[in-house]
Amino acid sequence: MASAPGFETDQGNGGETHQHIPASGPHDDGAQHLTTNHGVRISNNQNQLKAGARGPVLLEDFVLREKIFHFDHERIPERIVHARGSAAHGTFEATDDISDITKAVLFKKGTKTPVFTRFSTVAGGAGSVDTPRDVRGFAVKFYTTEGNWDLVGNNIPVFFIQDAIKFPDLIHSVKMEAQSGYPQAASAHDTFWDFIGLMPESTHMIMWAMSDRTLPASFATMEGFGVHTFQMINEAGEIKFVKFHWKPKAGLQSTIWDETVKIAGADPDHQRRDLFERIDRGDFPTWELGLQIFDKAFADGLDYDVLDSTKLIPEEVLPVRIVGRMVLDRYPDNFFAETEQVAFLPTNIVPGIGFSNDPLLQGRLFSYLDTQNSRLGTTNFHQIPINAAKCPVMNFQRDGKMQTQIPKGRTNYEPNGLQADGEVRPGDEPGPRECPATGYKSATAFTGPDEEGEKLRVRAESFADHYSQARMFFRSLAAPEQAHLASALVFELSKVGLEHVRTRVLSNLVNVDPSLAERVADGLNMPVPAASPSAAPVRDMDPSPALRIIEGPLTPKTIEGRTIAILIADGSDADLVDTLTSDIGDAGGRPVIVAPKIGGTKMSDGSLLKADFQLAGGPSVLFDAIAVALSDDGCKMLLKEGAAVQFVMDAFGHLKAIGHTAGAKPLLDKAGVEPDEGVIALDGKGFIAAAAKRVWAREPKVRTLA
């Protein structure tokens, strides 16, 4: 990159350009001075330039015009989908040698690669809340030494549609209805379910979307998936097929619907805040990257098509091999510059990784580049630091809107040969050349069944079974998860005003599981219709326990990473609170103090203990379990406080562990708390163990489920 006269420039990580201005002149005192965007120092940033103290503003006020002009253009078009996002920097480390599978250098054991990971909701706009029932985006940008690789996926391993040509229809249907502009960030409305009822291929994804998977407790407690089948190529040119899985170290954890609704009101930024606070306290979100690796023979032996993005390969059929670990340990310095401007592209690929013929993936390869050009307003969006590769970038693509580099020389084409006579002329250097030995090569071998033939707008017959995997998913869930899924369908369909749309969805559910259709129909007080026609026989597949959140392989067993609230009031036992705080911390949890007043509470020993949350601003929906550490007098005071009663009532209703002192018993009684395995006296160590899980046996006592 060329330097402007009088400046030195250096290219840093991410492509940032740092300018070092030589000191000169009598006013270079080393202090930081406010300037315009063009470097002119500003003498007054508080007032416009006027003709007299009360006169009109002058057009010549370039400081005002530049400042307002910049403000007026600060917002860029938000993403059509995945607009609401949060992100963090981190590192990926390869932990297993898979050189027999891929030549990608980032997978050489011990290699560490910088990453930037963005989590997002799909349906809502940038100003929506963190916690709607929605799919979550899970996109990772790897800044490898061979170029950027973007693994752009979701927290669900399958998708709504099989072919990318239907993506605009899907998104138009789930977005706010065109004539009213609502609902925002919700799928419970006519147009979405009208589309779903007419698209049997969406049935499997709907099972996931209505499950607890779309109510994650935090970004750190959800899985991520690449969704599609990809290729990996080794040095010998041999091809394997892979599906990518991100396994959270913190385990899988979701919220309950009533809890989710209340979190949205108490803290619309709950998941974003959680990500920042975990990094702040050193509890870095961590995932293991796993691969399902298979070959053509394995794919041919399946009863479904690996190129169909509405299908998954159960882990019991093909285990996940862990090959690396990602740790997110730094949040962005600037939300707009990084989280908002980051551009993920499935076409960002490196040698050793390739695409399959998945028709949904193939459409995405076009769509994302087109989207980023539209959002960021220039073909040079790759020069934005968060998007810039951290390895050398050399080509002859120049000019364009917002070009920030200054290429030298007159050869902006290739091949070129101005130096053929051997004479060296400044600026006539030949520049970069293609590299057949190490450059990226698209695989030419098998990418899917029946890849040869006429050009046709058709679906392969191997894509025709839309219900077997949906049935497998539902029957794999634990009983509480099945009840939540059925109840979610009742809630969503109760918002659909057109009866024929509800009936059509029910007819699809009959194919999934007749008992599920009966539960949903009963919740709607509608008859169960006949099953909708199926293009292929519906098969009974073996259940996959790996798909469970409750009683599954990723169900948390301890309170590590969980936040436990300790409710105190005047007179609370100081020694007990100290012990609780210590025990929670020793077990890997995060203790927080909740009190009627943020400034402090007078403890039993006369000390003043400051609170982390004021009671009305720290409802129990924000925490994983609660300890009610009240004295007799403190409890008597809180019996008159509605926020305290609701604090305990919600914790009980949301199936959380409740530790309590004897003095707190009247408050528990007023909140309707009944004794069970999750209601623990704070006179031993039982509370810490109970706080690691919800009390699912309590749920039938506190709410009606389908």
Helices 190-197 and 167-174: crossing angle in degrees, nearest 10, is 140
Cα separation, 418 vs 405, whole angstroms: 23
Beta-bridge partner residues of 289:
246, 324
- Helices within 214-300 (DSSP H only): 257-266, 270-280, 296-300
> Judging by beta carbons within 10 Å of its beta carbon (0-12, 13-18, 19+), is residue 315 exposed, middle or buried?
middle
Cα separation, 312 vs 158, whole angstroms: 6
Distances in Å between the Cα of 104 and the Cα atoms of 100, 204, 438, 533 are 11, 33, 11, 45
Strand-strand pairing, 8-11 and 17-20: antiparallel
Residue matched to tokens 């550490």? 629
Judge whether 516 and 207 are in contact, CB under 8 Å. Answer: no
How many CA atoms are closer than 13 Å to the CA of 609, on its beta-carbon side?
28
Strand-strand pairing, 321-330 and 601-602: unpaired
Cα separation, 228 vs 309, whole angstroms: 6
Judge whether 652 and 681 are in contact, CB under 8 Å. Answer: no
Distances in Å between the Cα of 385 and the Cα atoms of 12, 139, 143, 373, 393 are 9, 17, 12, 16, 13
Sign of CA dihedral 456, 462, 467, 470: negative
Judge whether 103 and 235 are in contact, CB under 8 Å. Answer: yes
Residue matched to tokens 């810490």? 688
- 82, 89, 189, 382: the catalytic one is 82
- Residue 344: name the closest of 66, 32, 79, 586 by CA: 79
- 148, 154, 348, 508: the catalytic one is 154
The answer to whether residue 82 is catalytic is: yes
Per-residue HEC secondary structure of 458-486 comes to: CCCHHHCCCCHHHHHHHHHCCHHHHHHHH
DSSP 666: H
- Burial string for 262-272 (b: 16+ CB within 10 Å, else e) reads bbbebbbebbb
- Residue 304: name the closest of 318, 291, 290 by CA: 318
Q: Which two tokens stand for residue 101?
A: 């599978």
The answer to whether residue 154 is catalytic is: yes
DSSP for 108-130, please give it.
STT-EEEEEEEEEESSS-TTS-S
| Active-site amino acid positions | 82, 154
